[in-house]
Amino acid sequence: MTATADGAQIFKAHSVRRVDPVCAGIAEALKGVAPLRYIKLFPGRLAASNVLSSEGRKNPVVTVGAEGIVGVEILIDPETRVVQFYAITSAVKGCGRKMVAAVVAATPADWHVVVVMDWSGGFWRRMAEEYPRIVIA
């Protein structure tokens, strides 16, 4: 676990043997997005949120539409060089855009950034216009 001066922390799941450099880079980029305070690396994914789960596993809560939650869950596949937005939610105006910007900036240019299911009502369309690397499938 690492922490920044403002208290943001990066945790690693016990099942993670080796942290992929792209995953580590995205985690570091997300540390700069307030109010994200907790980032956890899992095999093939990461989750970041302003709230930790209460069941004892210290997992960032990324419940889309939940009151007071700011968070993002990303699937990362180094073999196919794909970063996929799995879930994103923001109770704070503008934080969704900041999380997308951090992930896109930290993803290598030769990787794909995708959104497989778009139920956002226009958010991902706007993000794809602003960040042409984002592909909505």
pLDDT digits (tens, 9 = 90+) for 25-81: 999 999 999 999 999 999 999 999 999 999 888 899 999 989 999 999 999 999 999
Residue 3 has pLDDT above 90, yes or no: no
Q: What are phi and psi of 49, to 5 degrees?
A: -160, 170
Tell me how far CA of residue 60 lies from CA of 79, 84, 117, in angstroms.
25, 18, 21
Residue span of the structural domain in which 35 resides? 2-74+86-109
Residues 6+ apart with CB under 8 A from 112: 80, 81, 82, 83, 133, 135
Q: Residue 96, SS3?
A: helix
CA angle 65, 48, 62 (to 5 degrees): 25
Per-residue confidence band for 7, with pLDDT thresholds at 50, 70 and 90: low
Residue 36 domain-assigned (yes or no): yes
Number of domains in the chain: 1
pTM value is 0.92
Q: Say what percent of the chain tops pLDDT 70.
A: 95
Residue 23 domain-assigned (yes or no): yes
